[in-house]
Amino acid sequence: MFKKLFGIKDTETKPTEEVVFAPLSGKVTELTEVPDPTFSQKMMGDGLAIIPTEGEVVSPVDGEIIQFFHTKHAIGIRSATGAEILIHVGLETVSMNGEGFEGHVSEGDKVKAGDRLISFDLNLINAKAASTITPIVITNGEVVENLDKKLTDNAIKGQTELFHLKVKS
């Protein structure tokens, strides 16, 4: 009765389109340029990669943290549209066992675009891992109808548009 009286709908409608902002500052490149076949051959999904110029990852969207690896090198976020975004800092960084990484969120946390997720030591990753290149991948591509990618040499975390995505309705 209250729902009818106050015009509240039974089903909350979620958006079908959204902008995904750059989670790191740096040079944006195609996923095919990532020197790791898991990413370059899009085995985990489509997306882009960023060669970071500083050691901070922010949320690219409003959403929820659905996975945060114990080594703090990778994080998964479900956006308002339902797209699941994996941010994987560097290549072969899992072997660092969390050294040089600091997490600022936990699984289940609700985040807004621009919220700080991870801090990391860029110099340490340069010294100990295969690469600092950071893939940003839509892991549930089957829900995506259109992914419009934006390349730039100078992305600013939390401000520069990385993708415009539309999910199937």
**Of the residues 70, 73, 88, 104, which is catalytic?**
88
User: Which pLDDT score, from 0 to 100, does residue 6 have?
Assistant: 53
Give CATH superfamily name and number for 11-167.
Glucose Permease (Domain IIA) (2.70.70.10)
Give me the residue spans of the domains in the chain: 11-167
> Closest by alpha carbon to 17, among 61, 57, 76?
61
Q: Are the beta carbons of 48 and 153 closer than 8 angstroms?
A: no
164 part of the active site:
no
CA triple 65-69-73, angle to 5 deg: 100
* pLDDT tens digit at each of 169 positions of the chain: 445 545 555 456 789 999 999 999 999 999 999 999 999 999 999 999 999 999 999 999 999 999 999 999 999 999 999 999 999 999 999 999 999 999 999 999 999 999 999 999 999 999 999 999 999 999 999 999 999 999 999 999 999 999 999 999 8
Q: Residue 11 has what pLDDT?
A: 55
